[in-house]
Amino acid sequence: MKNEYNKTITACFIGYIVQAIVNNFVPLLFLTFQSTYHIPLSKITMLVTFNFGLQLLVDLFSVGFVDRIGYRASMLIAHIFAAAGLVSLTVLPELFADPFTGLLISVMIYAIGGGLLEVLVSPVVEACPTDNKEKAMSMLHSFYCWGHVGVVFLSTVFFKIFGISNWKIMAVIWALVPLFNTFLFARVPIASLMEEGETGLSMKELFTTKIFWVLLIMMICSGASEQAVSQWASTFAEKGLGVTKAIGDLAGPMAFAILMGSSRAFYGKYGDRINLDKFMIASCMLCVLSYLCISFSPYPQLSLAGCAVCGLSVGIMWPGTFSKASAAVRRGGTAMFALLALGGDLGCSGGPTLVGIISSRFQDNLKAGILAAVIFPLLLLAGILCCKKLRGSSDSK
Nearest to 218 by CA among 43, 381, 22, 389: 381
| Residues in CB range of 126: below 8 A, 6 or more apart | 133, 137, 193, 322, 326, 337
Reply yes or no on whether the pLDDT at 51 is more than 60: yes
**Averaged pLDDT, 82-93:** 96
Q: What sign has the CA pseudo-torsion 80, 86, 88, 92?
A: positive
Torsion from C-alpha of 17, 64, 209, 321, nearest 10 degrees: 0
What separation in angstroms does the CA of 271 have from each of 8, 210, 219, 263, 330?
A: 20, 27, 20, 11, 22
Q: Which of residues 130 and 266 earns the better pLDDT score?
A: 266
| Residues in CB range of 100: below 8 A, 6 or more apart | 37, 39, 43, 44, 93
**pLDDT for position 397:** 44
pLDDT tens-digit series, residues 214-227: 999 999 999 999 88
What is the Cα–Cα distance from 302 to 126, expressed in whole angstroms? 39
Identify whether the C-beta of residue 315 lies closer than 8 Å to the C-beta of residue 262.
yes
Which amino acid, residue 22?
V
State the chain's mean pLDDT as an integer. 88
What separation in angstroms does the CA of 290 have from each of 33, 304, 311?
A: 35, 10, 9
pLDDT tens-digit series, residues 285-324: 999 999 999 889 888 778 888 888 999 999 999 999 988 9
Question: 233 falls in which pLDDT band (50, 70, 90)?
Answer: confident
Three-class SS state of 126: helix
Question: 244 falls in which pLDDT band (50, 70, 90)?
Answer: low
Q: Which of residues 178 and 268 earns the better pLDDT score?
A: 178
Identify whether the C-beta of residue 339 lies closer than 8 Å to the C-beta of residue 206.
yes
Say what the pTM is.
0.86
Nearest to 125 by CA among 259, 10, 257: 10
pLDDT tens-digit series, residues 91-144: 999 999 999 999 999 999 999 999 999 999 999 998 888 777 888 889 999 999
